[in-house]
C-alpha cells in the first residue's frame, strides 16, 4: 500500500472506494483515506439535516466513522460505498434526534401543508433556488422526512436510486417524498420567504 510519511501519493488519490476498503481490512491506517474522502461531505450532510452546531455534528461524524469501521465487513462491493456510508450517517443522525428528543420542524405549518394542491408544480428552477441560504432556513421548517430527501437530492445531488439505498425506502417512495416535499417547500417560500 502506498502510504508514505502520512501523505497521500498520487496512487492513493486515484484509488477507488472499493480498493481503499480492501486496504482498510489489512491496515487500519488506510482508514484515514476513507475519513478524509468523506468527512466534509458527511459533516455538511449531517448539519443540513439536523441544524446543529459544528461541534455536535463532528461528534456524530466520529460515531459514523467508528460504526463504519466496525461494520466494514458488512459493506457489499456490489453497491456504492458512498451510499453505504451515507446510510450510516443517516442512522446516526436519526439516533441523535431520538436521544436528544429534538424536533426541528415547525408543526404549526402542518395544517397549511395539508391544504396544498397536489398538482402544484415548482420544477426546473428548484435546484437553483434551493441553494440559497434563505432557502436553507425555510428547509429547516420542513418535516425531517421531506427535508432529508430534498437535501440528498438537491444538495448532495444523489439520484433517486441512491437516495433509496441511503434511506432504505423504495424508489417510488423517494419520488413521492421529493414531489410532496417540493410542494410543501413552495408554500413555505410563499409564507416566510420575504421575512427571512
Partner 1 sequence: MGKISKKVLQRIEKENIKPIGKWSFVLKNSFLWSLFGLNILFGSIGLAISIYLFESSDILNLILSVNDFLGVLILAIPTVWVLLTVSFLIVAYLNFKYTDRGYMFSFRKIFVINTLAILILGGILHLSGVSERLNRVFSESFSEYDITLDPRYKIWSAPEIGYLAGTILSVSEAGIKIEDLDGNTWSVDTSEAKVRRAVGLIEGEKIKIVGNVVSESTFQALEILPWEGRGRNMQEKHF
Quick check: 86 and 168 in contact, CB under 8 A? Answer: no
Judged by beta carbon, residue 165 or residue 183, the one nearer partner 1 is: 165
Give Cβ neighbours of residue 114 (< 8 Å, ≥ 6 apart).
none
Least gap, CB of 123 to partner 1 (angstroms):
25
Least gap, CB of 110 to partner 1 (angstroms):
24
| CA distance between the termini of the chain | 51
Q: Which residues here bind partner 1, judged by CB under 8 A?
A: 6, 25, 28-29, 31-32, 35-36, 39, 43, 58, 61-62, 65-66, 69-74, 76, 164, 168-173
Question: Where would I find the beta strands (DSSP E) of the chain?
Answer: 3-4, 7-8
Least gap, CB of 187 to partner 1 (angstroms):
27
Judged by beta carbon, residue 69 or residue 106, the one nearer partner 1 is: 69
Judged by beta carbon, residue 50 or residue 135, the one nearer partner 1 is: 50
Contacts for 128-132: CB closer than 8 Å, 24+ residues apart: 129/189, 130/154, 130/155, 130/185, 131/155
Least gap, CB of 141 to partner 1 (angstroms):
28
Judged by beta carbon, residue 66 or residue 196, the one nearer partner 1 is: 66
For 116-164, the DSSP string reads --TT----TTHHHHTTSHHHHHHHTTS-HHHHHHHIIIIIS---HHHHH
Least gap, CB of 168 to partner 1 (angstroms):
4
Judged by beta carbon, residue 102 or residue 172, the one nearer partner 1 is: 172
Amino acid at each position: 500500500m502506498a502510504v508514505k510519511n502520512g501523505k497521500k501519493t498520487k496512487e492513493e488519490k486515484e484509488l477507488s472506494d472499493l480498493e481503499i476498503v480492501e486496504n482498510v481490512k489489512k491496515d487500519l491506517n488506510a482508514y484515514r483515506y476513507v475519513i478524509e474522502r468523506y468527512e466534509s461531505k458527511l459533516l455538511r450532510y449531517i448539519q443540513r439535516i439536523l441544524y446543529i452546531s459544528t461541534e455536535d455534528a463532528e461528534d456524530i461524524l466520529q460515531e459514523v466513522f467508528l460504526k463504519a469501521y466496525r461494520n466494514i465487513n458488512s459493506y457489499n462491493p456490489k453497491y456504492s460505498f458512498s451510499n453505504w456510508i451515507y446510510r450510516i450517517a443517516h442512522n446516526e443522525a436519526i439516533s441523535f434526534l431520538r436521544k436528544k428528543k429534538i424536533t426541528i420542524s415547525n408543526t404549526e405549518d402542518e395544517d397549511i401543508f395539508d391544504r396544498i394542491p397536489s398538482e402544484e408544480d415548482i420544477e426546473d428552477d428548484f435546484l437553483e433556488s434551493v441553494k440559497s441560504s434563505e432557502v436553507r432556513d425555510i428547509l429547516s421548517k420542513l418535516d425531517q422526512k421531506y427535508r432529508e430527501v430534498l437535501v440528498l437530492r438537491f444538495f448532495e445531488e444523489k439520484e433517486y436510486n441512491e437516495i433509496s439505498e441511503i434511506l432504505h425506502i423504495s424508489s417510488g417512495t423517494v419520488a413521492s417524498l421529493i414531489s410532496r416535499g417540493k410542494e410543501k417547500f413552495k408554500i413555505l417560500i410563499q409564507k416566510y420567504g420575504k421575512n427571512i
